Amino acid sequence: MADDPFENMLAQMDRAEEYADVDHGVFERLKHPERTLKVTLPVELESGEVEVFEGYRCQFDSARGPFKGGVRFHPSVTQREVEALAGWMTWKTALVDLPYGGAKGGVICEPKDLTDRDLERLTRRYTEGIRRMIGPEIDVPAPDMNTNPQTMAWMMDTYSMYEGYSVPQVVTGKPLEIGGTPGRVEATGRGVSLVTERLFEYLDRDLSDASVAIQGFGNVGSNAARLLDESGANVVATSDVTGAAYDPDGLDVAALGAHVDAGGLIEEYVAGEIRGGASTADSRWDDPDQITNAELLTLDVDVLIPAAVEGVITADNVDDLRASAVVEAANGPTTVAADEALTERDIQVVPDILANAGGVIVSYLEWVQNAQEFSWPLETVNAELERRIGSAFDKTIEQYDTKELPDLRTAAYTLALERTAKAHEYRGLFP
């Protein structure tokens, strides 16, 4: 049951319902996505072959504003996963109080097997498939797993070609040259780092020298690692699909970042095949051990940050977890059964809808700048990100403490559900 991300999201909602001030009828309505479009995407690959892909766009709830949510390219994308992710976007935008609803898109594909030309064609075909349901005031996509500013540029261009003029505001996470904002690429990782700092302040613990394990060293994981390293924490392990690098004395995060930016894999780094100009001789700590992703999750660390895929902390491994706090950078990394076990063990979990909200906050700031046809400096963007995610963190803690809720996820969900339900109550049912 809980391995299905959509069931997991519904179970999270159910856990919060008993504490949330929400009419039961409205609550039932919140459990159903408004709509999901499935699109068939035939693409002529560079090899000359035609491959037929499948994609989705789910628009979960728009009571608080236009739909907002990323697009994921991954072999394990399913309709249920996209719908769960769209639901989580709805609760996330409500929790951090952005004037948006929630949506998500996904295409079933293995990007590693596609050339840049193939990816461009697939992205354009997908954009054509969903273009009637997106738009600056309707639904605004953004990057997620295996999509990036280049993907957004292709989406923006395809949409604009049909409109007959440039519409930068139709997507966020664009390159700077076509209306992107400074600070967007690292925004989710920055938010993860900021909430980890806040958590330590709240727990009255010192983050400097705290040990951190991060599963996933992509956009979110690598930026969180870099910023936590800069704030004095000790990143002892990180991973990608090929496995994890572990050094109890701490990893050379900068060298790892350069290696991965140059297209390197973690297993190559551990084997000493280091790209990006760094060499083991230059590294502060030169011999990390290769461990598995499963072993990374059970390391004895102060903070565990899952930053890859959903459903990695489960009933099967939760008893082996030794971290004293979990900061959910990935969406939906903890199943409900595991969540209950973590609450019982008093392990603080900063839920995904708070921990990884930095990305959508800065996407919103990009959208606002596009609407104003104006651009802000990086300092303004980062200050606004810190203010907004800090305020959401404080409100979640206040809710948790004053209502004596079982955990931070329940606190975050009650706030998000109450805000979304209020919007539904004010707007009423039409027709």
Q: Which residue number has the CB closest to ligand NAD? A: 218
Nearer to ligand NAD, 143 or 179 (CB): 143
Shortest spacing between CB 30 and ligand NAD, in angstroms: 21
Sign of torsion over alpha carbons 393, 219, 123, 184: positive
- Give the list of residues 6+ apart from residue 83 with CB closer than 8 angstroms, or none: 6, 33, 36, 58, 60, 104
Using the rule CB under 6 A, is 219 a contact of ligand NAD? yes
**Per-residue binder mask for ligand NAD (CB under 6 A), 266-305, x = binder:** ---------------------------x------------
Residue from 356, 369, 399, 410 in contact with ligand NAD (CB under 6 A):
356
Nearer to ligand NAD, 2 or 26 (CB): 2
**Per-residue binder mask for ligand NAD (CB under 6 A), 166-205, x = binder:** ----------------------x-----------------
Using the rule CB under 6 A, is 146 a contact of ligand NAD? yes
And the tokens for 242?
Answer: 């090929």
Q: What is the DSSP string of 93-143?
A: HHHTT-S--EEEEEEE--GGGS-HHHHHHHHHHHHHHHGGG-BTTTEEEEE
Binding residues for NAD(+), as ranges, are 188, 219
Sign of torsion over alpha carbons 17, 20, 24, 26: negative
Shortest spacing between CB 356 and ligand NAD, in angstroms: 4
Nearer to ligand NAD, 16 or 260 (CB): 260
Considering CB under 6 A, how many residues would be counted as binding ligand NAD? Answer: 24
Active-site position among 104, 174, 403, 422? 104
- Judged by CB under 6 A, the stretch of 95-103, 131-139, 236-244, 404-412 that binds ligand NAD is 236-244
Residue from 61, 186, 240, 407 in contact with ligand NAD (CB under 6 A):
240
* Cβ atoms 267, 283 nearer than 8 A: no
Nearer to ligand NAD, 161 or 265 (CB): 265
Residue from 241, 262, 271, 371 in contact with ligand NAD (CB under 6 A):
241
Using the rule CB under 6 A, is 307 a contact of ligand NAD? yes
According to DSSP, the β-strands at 67-74 and 102-108 are parallel
Nearer to ligand NAD, 170 or 297 (CB): 297
Binding residues for substrate, as ranges, are 68, 92, 363
Using the rule CB under 6 A, is 87 a contact of ligand NAD? no
Best CA proximity match to 222, nearest among 245, 206, 199, 247: 245
Nearer to ligand NAD, 27 or 147 (CB): 147
Using the rule CB under 6 A, is 423 a contact of ligand NAD? no
Determine whether 104 is an active site residue.
yes
**Per-residue binder mask for ligand NAD (CB under 6 A), 324-343, x = binder:** -----xxx------------
Using the rule CB under 6 A, is 62 a contact of ligand NAD? no
And the tokens for 145?
Answer: 């797993």
Applying CB under 6 A, the residues found at the interface with ligand NAD are 143-146, 188, 215-221, 239-241, 293, 307-309, 329-331, 356, 359
**Which of the residues are catalytic?**
104
